[in-house]
Amino acid sequence: MTSLPTIAQTIEERENALVVRYSFLPSPWERLEEIINAGRREMDFPAEDLQEKNLVPGCQTRVWLTATWPEGKCNPLVATDSAVVGGLARLICEVCRGALPSEVAVHELTVIQQLGLDRILSPTRLNGLTNISNRLQVLARLKLMELS
């Protein structure tokens, strides 16, 4: 999942670009496979950040999530033991990458639904993805509080 350009893109534009990127694949199962494969090639998560405080609560598998804000733009990183969760979590991170904290804090992600993945993922997995998205929103709100 090579990063999309962030210049003059809103979080909605980035999300739409990701939907377009994967929509050429005819089925949600093929999209999921491509997302998983792309996720395997991405993000080196720093070993020192594999700490309890960075675990996303409510996920069946362990998911660590952090975000830095270089130049005021979101740079999320995620690590997990699961290839499926890793690919999907990285997709969510890609939507938020380069966005302002004010955008991340309020954006309701729809990429999973737009790609039809909500029809093939278990309710438990969908809940875990919601928790990852919610955690990114919390990190963005913390950044906004820090800036005010």
What percent of the chain is helix, strand and coil (3-state, nearest 5)?
60, 10, 30
Residue 24 tokens, joined: 């050429």
Please check the confidence at residue 59 and state whether its pLDDT lies above 90. no
3-state secondary structure of 42: coil
Which contiguous run of DSSP H or E holds residue 123? helix 123-147
pLDDT in tens, 70-92: 999 999 999 998 999 999 999 99
Say which amino acid occupies 76: P
Q: Give domain limits for the chain.
A: 11-147
Average pLDDT for 48-57: 94
Decide if 94 contacts 4 (C-beta within 8 A).
Answer: yes
Fold (topology level) of 11-147: Sufe protein. Chain: A (3.90.1010)
The span from the CA of 28 to the CA of 141, in Å, is 32
